[in-house]
Amino acid sequence: MQIILKMKFHVKVANNRGFTLLEALIATMVLAVGILAVGQMQITAISGNSVAQTVTDIKGWTTDRFESMMSEPEAYEKSAALTDNDPDLAVGQVHTGPALPPGYTMTWTVTEGAIMPETKLITITVTGQRFGQTKRIRFDYVM
């Protein structure tokens, strides 16, 4: 009878060690969900960086266009000289900008004396398609 009791005791101790298959499966599922969440965060971060890069490029294009307008001698003349000598700075017209990457267009308008007398308000608008939606960014410069 003592032998049977010892065997039962030995079997109980052996069953209390290690992980069950169910515990290992649950731990694997938790790990998989965590890895998928990190992957989704990476996709979101890359998309955000792409949008930021596009906005930076657009700001560079508009600044370049505005600086080229300011470098023209007619920029500081009276409005009568502007309409005669420089078609890019003609007041009251919508102008089409230089060639941009496919999908983007640049337009600008010049308004005389909109803010103060003897000043010009230049509104540069860049329009583009992103993920099937039209996006428009507008910049106002005073000269």
d(CA 143, CA 140): 10
Judge whether 122 and 109 are in contact, CB under 8 Å.
yes
Name, of 7-11, 49-53, 99-103, the range with top average pLDDT.
Answer: 49-53
pLDDT one-digit tens code per residue, 45-91:
998 888 888 888 888 888 888 888 777 766 555 444 444 345 555 66
Q: Is residue 129 situated within a structural domain?
A: yes
Q: Is residue 138 situated within a structural domain?
A: yes
d(CA 128, CA 48): 17
Q: Is residue 100 situated within a structural domain?
A: yes
Q: Is residue 12 situated within a structural domain?
A: no
Domain count, the chain: 1
Question: Is the pLDDT higher at 79 or at 122?
Answer: 122
The predicted pLDDT at position 8 comes to: 54
Task: For the chain, give the mean pLDDT.
Answer: 76
Q: Give the domain extent around 105.
A: 17-142
The predicted pLDDT at position 126 comes to: 86
Instruction: Give pTM, 2 decimals.
Output: 0.57
Judge whether 131 and 120 are in contact, CB under 8 Å.
no
